[in-house]
Amino acid sequence: MDVPFNVSLDLKTGEMKPEGIMVVRRLSQMRGAFQDHDAAERMVAESDPVIYRVYNVVVPEESGQLQFCTSIIYPGRVGDEYFMTKGHFHQKIETAEVYLTLQGQGLLLMQSDDGRVATLDMFPGSTSYIPPRWAHRSINVGSVPLVLYAVYPGDAGHNYGIIEEKGFSKIVVAGPCGPVVMNNPRYSG
Ligand code: PAN
Ligand code: ZN
């Protein structure tokens, strides 16, 4: 991109116009990400809900450029687990990212490639720094859509394979008094 441009971002809904490439992620595309496979299969058969959408502006995937997008993670649960993004490392693992939460309540779950885990609260105005080498997943722990705006290097790319295969070492479930971070019983390291 070598010409300046504007997009119009709705700070409440996260919609961007022009919307560029929109990703719609339904449960059927990430059923293995949730612990309760039976609950996931039932929900897929019933309505296959949209878990989240991402509005991506089209910018070349090149060093020096900046990608930016909004993600909208809907409220809901699969079993005890809240709706969440698939989660990924960046393909170019040395690249960082900033998330600005616009609406809702979430938890940003992160795990470094040497096994450290961190969570950060996401709330309107929270500006979260995801350092290089940390996988990241956004989890909607509230009752309204979680809307976040992200900026990251143009050539970062996405590596979903490791998380699809292993998951994170922690999961976030609904407890009697709100979200609880627990060890992932399926995690093999
Ligand atoms: C975000 C994420 C977005 C969707 O823009 O890509 O929230 O999550 P998944 O990519 O894990 O499905 C980001 O971190 N980009 O790098
Ligand atoms: Zn990312």
Is residue 189 domain-resident?
no
Domain that holds residue 80: 8-183
Distance 46 CA to ligand 2 centre (A): 31
Is residue 89 domain-resident?
yes
Q: Are 91 and 157 in contact (CB under 8 A)?
A: yes
Residues enclosing ligand 1, CB less than 6 A?
54, 69, 71, 85-88, 97, 136, 138, 150, 152, 158
**What's the burial of 145, exposed, middle or buried (CB within 10 Å: 0-12/13-18/19+)?**
buried
Is residue 85 domain-resident?
yes
The pTM of this model reads 0.97
Is residue 3 domain-resident?
no
Name the residue at shortest CA distance from atom 12 of ligand 1: 86
Is residue 1 domain-resident?
no
Distance 1 CA to ligand 2 centre (A): 20
Is residue 2 domain-resident?
no
The CATH number that applies at residue 61 is 2.60.120.10
Which atom from ligand 1 is nearest to the alpha carbon of 71?
7
Is residue 149 domain-resident?
yes
Choice from 24, 29, 52, 54 to test ligand 1 binding pocket (greatest atom count within 8 A of CB): 54
Maximum CA extent, the chain: 52
SS3 (DSSP) at 18: coil
What does the pLDDT look like over 128-185, one tens digit per residue?
A: 999 999 999 999 999 999 999 999 999 999 999 999 999 999 999 999 999 999 999 9
Total structural domains within the chain: 1
What does the pLDDT look like over 43-96, one tens digit per residue?
A: 999 999 999 999 999 999 999 999 999 999 999 999 999 999 999 999 999 999
Summarize the confidence of residues 25-32 as an average pLDDT.
96
Q: Which ligand is nearest to the CA of 85?
A: 1
Is residue 139 domain-resident?
yes
